[in-house]
């Protein structure tokens, strides 16, 4: 009888040890969890980071009533916004590039490098203004630069984790493995809000980055010593650098345009001209960005179809109904879910008057719902197919977004908890079977670009949703109230004050924008039902030592010549 150390299991195209697949799963789960936590942990910690950046900005220590202090506040605010959005922007634009590079050079090689780069970026971000004098480069600019380093590492991790797992696990266990990994990715974004609130309430904001360092060092060493290349690499092909630059540029122009538009719109009279002085130039930048977006996108498509010898994006993958329906559904769901955490943080800290710590605790039901259901749905999908679970997940998610779109300003804790738990359960039901269906539909040699294509579109739509929320709030809510939310002046206010008419009236405009944003998200969630219905319903089954994919039907499938 074979021992665990010598037993083997057959992946679709490789024979790997049964122990290795669990090594791959645990390491990639840690990597994806770290990267996703850092995409959201900054949101809940923005007030603390802003206070530090303001103190290191010229004029930030001047009298609060002075004009120079107001200008310093506006400048510091823009730095913090770019620290948040810059991470998401760089990650979204580099995923496809690193996915294709991994298909050519090796997935484990790129993944391992990503772990190291992410760890270094985390350490440097936490050390902003401590190792490089603030007088040379201000703390705000340092944070932006080092967050970009983090984002490069995160893109390397995200673009390869699903492909590494697909290589390591046999087909009938792939849903379970990818489900756990996907739970880490999506759940990490929710967990980041909770951790951010806890860490910043008991220690410096710098520790939201320092906490990654020991974990990152361990994960990097573990990845370099234990992960091995089992993928089939493309030989004799080159990287489409022009395509990567054009795609990244087009995405950047779209997202930057929306962000510039928001900043340019923050010029209300209550700012007494100060915010206009700082932000009005962004309106011009937004017009330039929006004009460049379609030009760069058109050039990218022309390059991929006609000019590139080895295109960056495999458009042929979209000829497969399983791949296309899965990618479209995940992108639409990302729109529906993308701005939930962002808006709810403001809701809890503003309308409810909670501190960052307690605002994070209020989001736990959403995290728990996803963490509990995600792995289970992956296991079940390996047995019954993908369609029913993904469809159920989308419908439940749409219902939760509907409730958020009509959430009363005076909603109680129990009502909000139920909605968040429903959103988490819906996301957990959908995520695992969906990514398993996508990865199971592509050949081993293009799994890197297949996974990266899905991750790229999900990250783009997720960031677009966040940008839509930012645009609505930033251009409709009084700029003073908007800045107040980011500065974080609310610290578990007394219930009598929070429930008073005067306090609640100042958030009426915010709640109107809150409802409008979720109405937009609801449209995306409802449309996502369509690709979830039309996707094939396949079940992974083992036949002796060979793994085959058969349609789920009550009639026996006709045997092929080879099967006979």
3-state secondary structure 485-547: HHHCCCCCCCHHHHCCHHHHHCCHHHHHHHHHHHHHHHHHHHHCHHHHHHCCCEEEEEECCEE
Tell whether 165 and 285 lie within a shared domain: no
Q: Kindly give the pairing relationship between strand 538-543 and strand 15-17.
A: unpaired
The C-alpha atoms of residue 44 and residue 486 are separated, in whole angstroms, by 9
Residues 152 and 216 grouped into a single domain: yes
> In terms of DSSP bridges, do strands 15-17 and 8-10 run parallel, antiparallel, or are they unpaired?
antiparallel
Q: Tell me: do 284 and 334 sit in the same domain.
A: no
Indicate if 252 and 349 belong to the same structural domain.
no
Please report whether residue 556 resides in a domain.
no
Residue 465 C-alpha from the chain's centroid: 11
Q: Mean pLDDT throughout 312-327?
A: 88
Distance of alpha carbon 213 from its chain centroid, rounded? 21
Query: Would the pLDDT of 9 be above 60?
Result: no
Same domain, 336 and 281: no
Q: What is the pLDDT of residues 137-187, one digit of tens each?
A: 999 999 999 999 999 999 999 888 878 888 888 877 876 787 678 777 766
Q: Work out the pLDDT band at 343, boundaries 50, 70, 90.
A: confident
Instruction: Give dist(CA 331, CA 458) in Å, integer.
Output: 5
Task: Output the CA–CA distances (angstroms, integers) from residue 245 to 85, 173, 312, in the order listed.
Answer: 19, 37, 10
Are the CB atoms for 301 and 250 separated by under 8 Å? no
Report the pLDDT value the prediction gives residue 516, as an integer from 0 to 100. 93
Least confident stretch, 174-188, 243-257, 284-298, 501-515: 174-188
pLDDT band at 232 (very low <50, low <70, confident <90, very high): low
pLDDT at residue 480, rounded to an integer:
63
Q: What pLDDT sits at residue 483?
A: 62
Same-domain status, 258 and 320 = no
Which of 258, 285, 311 is at the close of a domain?
Answer: 311
Tokens of residue 28, six digits: 């990639």
Which segments of 305-386 does DSSP mark as H helices, in order? 321-338, 340-346, 356-362, 364-384
d(CA 405, CA 408): 9
* 478 token code pair: 């009084």
User: Is residue 138 included in any domain, yes or no?
Assistant: yes
Question: Is a pLDDT exceeding 90 seen at residue 83?
Answer: no
197 touches 359 (CB < 8 A) = yes
Q: Both 288 and 344 in a single domain?
A: no
Report the C-alpha gap between 426 and 390 in whole angstroms. 9
Which tokens belong to 408? 């009363």
User: Residue 29: is it exposed, middle or buried by C-beta count within 10 angstroms (0-12/13-18/19+)?
Assistant: buried
pLDDT tens digits for range 442-457 = 887 777 778 778 877 8
According to the model, what pLDDT value does residue 41 have? 81
According to DSSP, residue 557 is labeled: P
> Do 316 and 461 share a domain, yes or no?
yes
Q: Is the pLDDT of residue 220 over 90?
A: yes
CB-CB contact of 111 with 157 (8 Å): yes
The predicted model gives 54-58 an average pLDDT of: 90
User: Has residue 356 got a pLDDT over 80?
Assistant: no
Decide if 354 is inside a domain.
yes
Looking up residue 379, the CATH number of its domain turns out to be 1.20.1250.20
Which of 311, 334, 356 corresponds to the end of one domain?
311
Query: Among the listed ranges 24-28, 225-229, 559-563, which one has the minimum average pLDDT value?
Result: 559-563
195 with 295, same domain: the answer is: no
Does residue 158 contact residue 117 with C-beta atoms inside 8 Å?
no
Answer for the pair 57, 140: CB distance below 8 angstroms, yes or no: yes
What is the percentage of the chain residues whose pLDDT exceeds 90? 28
Task: Determine, yes or no, domain membership for 557.
Answer: no
* Model confidence pLDDT, tens digit, residues 396-427: 999 999 999 999 998 988 999 999 999 989 98
Q: How far apart are CA 183 and CA 367, in angstroms?
A: 10
- Joined tokens for residue 407: 């959430």
Number of domains in the chain: 2
Q: Which of 311, 331, 346 is where one domain is finished?
A: 311
- Rg over CA atoms, the chain: 24
Q: Identify the band that residue 292 occupies on the pLDDT scale cut at 50, 70 and 90.
A: very high
**Can you give the pLDDT at residue 554?**
44
When pLDDT is cut at 50, 70 and 90, the band that residue 528 belongs to is very high
Q: What is the mean pLDDT of the chain?
A: 81
User: How far is residue 540's CA from residue 531's CA, in Å, rounded to a whole number?
Assistant: 20
* Region of residue 128 (phi > 0: left; psi between -120 and 50: alpha; otherwise: beta): beta
Q: Rounded to the nearest 5°, which phi and psi values hold at 280?
A: -60, -30
Do 186 and 207 share a domain, yes or no? yes
Same domain, 330 and 285: no
> Residue 178 CB: number of other CB atoms within 10 A?
30
Domain that holds residue 330: 16-228+312-551
Confidence of residue 27 (pLDDT cuts 50, 70, 90): very high
d(CA 145, CA 500): 43
pLDDT of residue 218: 92
Q: Is the pTM for the entire model greater than 0.75?
A: yes
């Amino acid at each position: 009888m074979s021992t665990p150390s010598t037993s083997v299991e057959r992946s679709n195209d490789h024979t790997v040890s049964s122990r290795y697949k669990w090594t791959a799963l645990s390491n990639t789960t840690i990597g994806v969890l770290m990267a996703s936590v850092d995409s959201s942990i900054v949101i809940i910690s923005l007030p603390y980071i802003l206070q530090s950046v303001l103190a290191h900005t010229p004029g930030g220590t001047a009298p609060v009533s002075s004009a120079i202090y107001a200008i310093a506040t506006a400048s510091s605010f823009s730095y913090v916004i770019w620290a948040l959005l810059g991470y998401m922007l760089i990650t979204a634009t580099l995923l496809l590039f690193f996915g294709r590079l991994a298909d050519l050079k090796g997935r484990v090689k790129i993944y391992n490098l990503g772990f190291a780069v992410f760890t270094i970026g985390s350490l440097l971000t936490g050390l902003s203004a401590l190792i490089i004098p603030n007088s040379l480069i201000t703390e705000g600019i340092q944070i932006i630069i080092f967050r970009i380093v983090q984002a490069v590492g995160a893109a390397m991790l995200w673009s390869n984790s699903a492909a590494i797992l697909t290589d390591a696990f046999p087909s009938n266990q792939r849903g379970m493995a990818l489900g756990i990994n996907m739970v880490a990715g999506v759940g990490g974004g929710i967990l980041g809000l909770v951790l951010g609130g806890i860490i910043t309430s008991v220690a410096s904001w710098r520790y939201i980055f320092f906490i990654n360092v020991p974990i990152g060092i361990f994960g990097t060493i573990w990845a370099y010593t234990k992960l091995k290349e089992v993928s089939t690499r493309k030989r004799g092909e080159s990287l489409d650098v022009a395509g990567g630059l054009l795609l990244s540029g087009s995405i950047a122009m779209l997202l930057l345009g929306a962000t510039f538009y928001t900043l340019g719109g923050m010029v209300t009279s209550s700012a007494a001209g100060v915010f206009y002085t700082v932000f009005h130039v962004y309106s011009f930048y937004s017009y330039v960005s929006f004009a460049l977006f379609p030009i760069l996108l058109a050039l990218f498509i022309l390059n991929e179809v006609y000019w590139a010898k080895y295109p960056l994006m495999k458009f042929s993958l979209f000829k497969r109904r399983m791949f296309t329906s899965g990618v479209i559904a995940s992108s639409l769901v990302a729109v529906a879910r993308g701005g939930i955490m962002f808006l709810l943080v403001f809701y809890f800290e503003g309308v409810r008057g909670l501190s960052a710590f307690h605002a994070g605790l209020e989001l736990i039901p959403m995290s728990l719902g996803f963490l509990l259901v995600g792995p289970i749905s992956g296991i079940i999908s390996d047995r019954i197919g993908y369609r029913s679970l993904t469809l159920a997940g989308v419908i439940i998610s749409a219902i939760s977004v509907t409730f958020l779109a009509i959430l009363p300003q005076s909603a109680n804790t129990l009502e909000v908890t139920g909605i968040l738990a429903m959103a988490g359960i819906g996301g957990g039901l959908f995520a695992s079977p969906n990514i398993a269906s996508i990865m199971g539909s592509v050949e081993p040699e293009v799994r890197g670009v297949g996974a990266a294509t899905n991750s790229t579109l999900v990250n783009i739509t997720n960031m677009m949703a966040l940008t839509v929320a930012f645009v609505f709030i930033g251009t409709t809510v009084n700029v003073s109230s908007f800045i107040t939310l980011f500065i974080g002046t609310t610290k578990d206010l007394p219930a009598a004050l929070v429930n008073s008419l005067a306090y609640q009236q100042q958030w009426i405009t915010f709640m109107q924008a809150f409802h409008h944003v979720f109405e937009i998200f609801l449209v995306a969630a409802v449309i996502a039902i369509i690709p979830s219905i039309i996707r094939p319903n396949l079940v992974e089954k083992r036949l002796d030592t060979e793994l085959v994919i058969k349609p789920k039907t009550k009639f026996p499938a006709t045997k092929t010549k080879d099967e006979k």
